[in-house]
Structure 1
Amino acid sequence: MATPAKRPRAAGPGGGEPDCDAVAGFLRWCARVGLQLSPKVAVSRQGTVAGYGMLARESVQPGELLFAVPRAALLAPHTCAIGSLLERERGALQSQSGWVPLLLALLHELQAPASLWSPYFALWPELGRLEHPMFCPSVRSLELYHQLVAVVMAYSFQEPLEEEEEEKEPNSPLMVPAADILNHLAKHNANLEYSADYLRMVATQPIPKGHEIFNTYGQMANWQLMHMYGFVEPYPDNTDDTADIQMVTVREAALQGTKDEAERLLLWERWDFLCKLEMVGEEGAFVIGREEVLTQEELATTLKVLCMPAEEFQEYKDEDGWDEDEKEEDNLTITNIPSLNISWRRLLRDSVLLTLQTYATDLKTEQDLLTNKEVYAKLSWREQQALQVRYGQKMILHHLLELTS
């Protein structure tokens, strides 16, 4: 995905694609609603990693404005044609996600022939061809509503709120024309900034002429990208990728090392104490990134408690865990794993091996599929994306194996 974009036939201010009415209509709409596109950028289907994207017509430097979207052009419950109705029924439409008002706004505007946002909708992906996992089942009801849920999940934005504002009510999502055209990359080169009157997309690093402009959808592992957006970044592009080790898997690995019933009972006592400390849970997972342990406190405490001598555990338990000022600093990072206590490394290694056993195929099988272009090409899009998810996770887990050897 990170390869430089091809030179496209692009549409932008001052130029157009005669064979792309949707883009031309969208650009006219931008001018009409005051959405300011830099002359250095272009909207195009060609030279992009997926669907429509935005390309640099000229070299762009960090800090340069790529486009600015006036708040009146945002598609939100309060800007749509039924905004007054949605506001009147606000109490009945409350939900944990805060999505319902926007979904109803989209349902209305998408089916209204004279909608202000019709030229914007023309750039949307075909709703019937969305690749999100929620559409894998062949039977579904409320089809349009479900499709719009996927659109909101994949293309909406949530404006950052102050902490006290977040406590009052959920932060409702909104649709940001132009911003949702940008594709995602972990190593993105643009970022959306919020102000009172406009939302501005600004370059964060140099963008050479002809290269694609990428936003970020957040620090997301491939499984999260697949769940939320229906795509992944091929290994090794996604620097935010992670692999999970289920917390109960570490418990299972520790139980395998017990020699008798007394040791097993003590292990269960240690586990129950970790639950009391809220370091572990039956449904939880330790999250391992490519460059860091995202749950380092939980994993370090779990390894310590499960591996410490019995006398030390009793002291630790009596103190309800040592005070922060008294205990040693457990800074569990990827780089210091080889220097961990041998019992910690052994337990971590056994946990990784058990995790790898949960996959139906091994790493070599995945590598063979990825390197055999003919076989890979025969896989469906969903099979290819699932393969990339598994492969990235296994690469992280195998790296852990090397570090714990």
Structure 2
Amino acid sequence: MASAPKRLKVAAGSCVRGKGSADPISSFLAWCGRAGVELSPKVRLSREGAVAGYGLLAAEELERGEVLFTVPRTALLSQHTSSIGGLLQEAQESLQSQSGWVPLLLALLHEYTASNSWWQPYFSLWQDFSSLDHPMFCFQEPLEEEDEDEKSPNPPMMVPVADILNHVAKHNANLEYTPHCLQMVSTQPISKGQEIFNTYGQMANWQLLHMYGFAEPYPGNTNDTADVQMVTLRRAALRRAKSEAEQQLVREQWDFLCQLEMVGEEGAFVLGWDEVLTEEELSMTLKVLCMSAEEFQEYKEQEGWEDDSEEEESSTLSNEALSRLKAPCKKLLYDSVLLTLEAYRSDLRAEQELLDRKEAFEQLSRREQQALHVRYGQKRILHQLLQLLA
């Protein structure tokens, strides 16, 4: 079953109480006019036709590269634009945190509870406390290339209109940043009546569920991933060891990999649809754990260094490369995937049947539905890997 992706519209509302309005859209659009927010006449805000709550839809045919709306930086809700911005600036040293969200949260609390806040029409679109399904959603402006090495990211902010858009991996619009404004631009032709989707980044379903409270049904999320815990490979290697000496070799190989910082007790190998995202770590781990005692001793003496450009090139673990792994490495990875699948409470077929039975699926709570989408996508990736390794 292909259920539409959903999330609470302006998800920050899951943390604060919404304020109703007879016609919140009209009130919000009037506020946009006063705030200098410009919406293209080719788009419209609506509940009808959106996957959940409010959404942005194409009122006319749209071409690639069209500006759908423009939000001046003065209309962004942040620690700097809040009416208590000066106070937050004075107290910035005591408000420091790793995420940088504390000043924004304080600004939101103040503006939301202030009866005369300029942002009230914006808040009218937010959900209330009856819908606490997922964390708060804020935009965080990406760093410029020259700033990527700096420790602290740009502070988060709320972006009116932009935060109404839903996310899908195969999105059709993207938010662009300029010194004076933010613009939502179409990235492909969009048909009349079609919903306009933004992207929150290349996120697996478990990340979307954790951060935004929803997951994309299979096969929508092309960025989905599955994890194989690093210790699972150790476990599989120990299982195939036929003697105490071979088990001791595995332990020494694992300790060596830990020293190289290739593996760890809490780490995981990340598998995507088309390739292994932790390719260096998995390549090295498979290689070392499949060495004989003699090969491992020689490898340790070289301290893990080899002058073999051909082998370096083969470390890119695309699906094609996985299918060409040496037999011992294939077997070790295959066994590790089987162990990973055993950790799930149900198998792929049972969850496929549940997804196919619409009535049974709709009897699940929303959280159960989203968790099912996460598990199902992960299992599909793992089963695909089993086929490649068979």
Alignment pair present for 1:317 and 2:317: no
Q: Are 2:104 and 2:156, in contact at CA under 8 Å, matched by a contact in 1?
A: yes
Which range moved further: 168-177 or 186-195? 168-177
Alignment of 1:30-179 (within 5 A): 30-132=32-134, 150-151=135-136, 154-164=137-147, 167=150, 169-179=152-162
Deviation string for 1:51-86 (max 9, x for gaps)? 111000011111110011000000000100100000
Q: How many residues align?
A: 372
Give the Cα–Cα distance (whole angstroms) in 1 for the partners of residues 280 and 374 of structure 2. 26
Alignment RMSD: 1.8
CA shift for structure 1 position 163: 4.3
Report the CA distance shift for 1:162/1:82 in structure 2 as closer, same or farther (over 3 A). farther
Give the Cα–Cα distance (whole angstroms) in 1 for the partners of residues 357 and 141 of structure 2. 41
Alignment pair present for 1:374 and 2:359: yes
Structure 1 length normalisation: TM-score?
0.88
Structure 2 length normalisation: TM-score?
0.92
Matched to 1:98, the amino acid is G
Q: Are 1:225 and 1:232, in contact at CA under 8 Å, matched by a contact in 2?
A: yes
Higher relative contact order (CA 8 A, sep 6+): 2
Match of 2:219 among 227, 236, 239: 236
Q: Which residue of 1 aligns with 2:238?
A: 255
The alignment-based identity, stated in percent, is: 62
Matched to 2:171, the amino acid is H
Q: Are 1:2 and 1:237, in contact at CA under 8 Å, matched by a contact in 2?
A: no
Alignment pair present for 1:344 and 2:329: yes
CA shift for structure 1 position 313: 1.6
Give the Cα–Cα distance (whole angstroms) in 2 for the partners of residues 326 and 403 of structure 1. 25
Structure 1 residue ranges, 4+ long, deviating more than 4 angstroms after superposition: 1-4, 323-327
Matched to 2:333, the amino acid is L
Give the Cα–Cα distance (whole angstroms) in 2 for the partners of residues 301 and 165 of structure 1. 28
Q: Which residue of 2 aligns with 1:295?
A: 278
Q: Are 1:96 and 1:170, in contact at CA under 8 Å, matched by a contact in 2?
A: no
Report the CA distance shift for 1:166/1:67 in structure 2 as closer, same or farther (over 3 A). farther
Q: Are 1:242 and 1:288, in contact at CA under 8 Å, matched by a contact in 2?
A: yes
CA shift for structure 1 position 3: 7.3
Give the Cα–Cα distance (whole angstroms) in 1 for the partners of residues 274 and 118 of structure 2. 46
Q: Which residue of 2 aligns with 1:332?
A: 317
Q: Which residue of 2 aligns with 1:266?
A: 249
Q: Are 1:93 and 1:101, in contact at CA under 8 Å, matched by a contact in 2?
A: yes
SS in 2 for 1:66: strand
Q: Which residue of 2 aligns with 1:14?
A: none
Give the Cα–Cα distance (whole angstroms) in 1 for the partners of residues 139 and 211 of structure 2. 11
Matched to 2:357, the amino acid is N
Q: Which residue of 1 aligns with 2:29?
A: 27
Structure 1: state its 5+ residue gaps.
5-18, 133-149
Matched to 1:332, the amino acid is L
Give the Cα–Cα distance (whole angstroms) in 2 for the partners of residues 130 and 47 of structure 1. 23
Q: Are 1:159 and 1:173, in contact at CA under 8 Å, matched by a contact in 2?
A: no
SS in 1 for 2:157: coil
Q: Which residue of 1 aligns with 2:9?
A: none
Q: Which residue of 2 aligns with 1:392?
A: 377
SS in 2 for 1:335: helix
Give the Cα–Cα distance (whole angstroms) in 2 for the partners of residues 404 and 165 of structure 1. 38
CA shift for structure 1 position 126: 2.4
Q: Which residue of 2 aligns with 1:147?
A: none
Deviation string for 1:293-322 (max 9, x for gaps)? 111111111101111232222222111212
